[in-house]
């Protein structure tokens, strides 16, 4: 387990210093760690709680920032902000990986970088903070850690194809989409990119655009359209 000094560095990044180190350790302990006693010591229950805390804070924040947005747009923004990929990205910004308590086998298989493990640990931390310090403290921490992402989102871009494709893939139990640049043509001042999106178990799709991001968006749109999801998602 990490020394106290290292824990203080993590707590500083999170924005909260725990009174109970046992609670912090539990929030960082993956279910792969088997315990001799029957008492659960992993972070699954804290993750369950933290997921609900995060959802409430984000829903409250979006209603506050966008008082005129309709329910459909708010739902799209909400899903983007609370999904596993976003929680895992927050966990990486906090450098949670080295602090995770994993079984030897899970650690050797790259568990400290796995999206789901990082996302769950991030939510478990929020659950632990809620239990120890209450909703207002957890609320402030979520608002701080998610501030740049909330500020970068708006109802106008809620129907982002890459985000929708990721949400769809997660909902289907598929791997996350991977994007590959296939081609780049034209002069530097007016390039034309071709990108391909790949998901295991699905036929790849391609798209073109004046930037890598535009080409990736086009590829995501093509795959969503082929699966019959784009029009329904964009109009929801």
Catalytic site positions? 51, 123
What does pTM read for this prediction? 0.65
Domain 161-235: which CATH number of 3.30.465.10, 3.90.870.20, 3.30.160.20, 2.130.10.10: 3.30.160.20
Angle at 151 between CA 146 and CA 157, to 5 degrees: 115
Q: What is the pLDDT of residue 39?
A: 58
What secondary structure letter does DSSP report for 220? H
Determine the CATH number of domain 4-154. Answer: 1.10.1520.10
CA dist 58 to 65, 66, 79, 100, 128, Å? 10, 12, 10, 25, 18
Q: For residues 235 and 230, what is the distance between their CA atoms, to the nearest angstrom?
A: 8
Domain segments of the chain: what residues?
A: 4-154, 161-235
Q: For residues 235 and 100, what is the distance between their CA atoms, to the nearest angstrom?
A: 40
Tens of pLDDT along 32-70?
886 544 456 789 999 999 999 999 999 999 888 888 778
> Please, which residues have CB within 8 angstroms of residue 1's CB and are 6 or more apart in sequence?
25, 101
- Paired with 195 in beta bridges are 181, 207
- Helix or strand run (H / E) with residue 179: strand 178-185
Within the chain, which residues score under 50 in pLDDT?
1, 3, 36-38, 231-236
């Amino acid at each position: 387990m990490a020394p106290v000094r290292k824990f203080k560095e993590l707590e500083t990044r999170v924005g909260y210093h725990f009174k109970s180190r046992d609670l912090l350790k539990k929030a960082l302990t993956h279910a792969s760690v088997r315990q001799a006693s029957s008492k659960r010591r992993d972070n699954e229950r804290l993750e369950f709680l933290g997921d609900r805390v995060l959802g409430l804070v984000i829903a409250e924040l979006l209603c506050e920032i966008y008082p005129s947005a309709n329910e459909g747009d708010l739902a799209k923004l909400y899903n983007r902000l609370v999904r596993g990929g976003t929680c895992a990205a927050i966990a990486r910004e906090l450098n949670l990986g080295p602090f995770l308590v994993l079984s030897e086998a899970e650690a050797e298989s790259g568990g400290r970088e796995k999206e789901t493990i990082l996302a769950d640990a991030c939510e478990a931390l929020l659950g632990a903070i809620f239990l120890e310090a209450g909703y207002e403290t957890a609320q402030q921490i979520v608002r701080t850690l998610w501030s740049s992402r909330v500020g970068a989102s708006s109802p106008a871009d809620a129907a982002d194809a890459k985000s929708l494709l990721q949400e769809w893939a997660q909902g289907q139990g598929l791997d996350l989409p991977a994007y590959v640049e296939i081609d780049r043509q034209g002069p530097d001042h007016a390039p034309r990119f071709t990108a391909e999106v790949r998901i295991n178990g699905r036929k790849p799709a391609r798209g073109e655009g004046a930037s890598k991001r535009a080409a990736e968006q086009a590829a995501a749109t093509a795959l969503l359209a082929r699966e019959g999801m784009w029009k329904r998602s964009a109009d929801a």
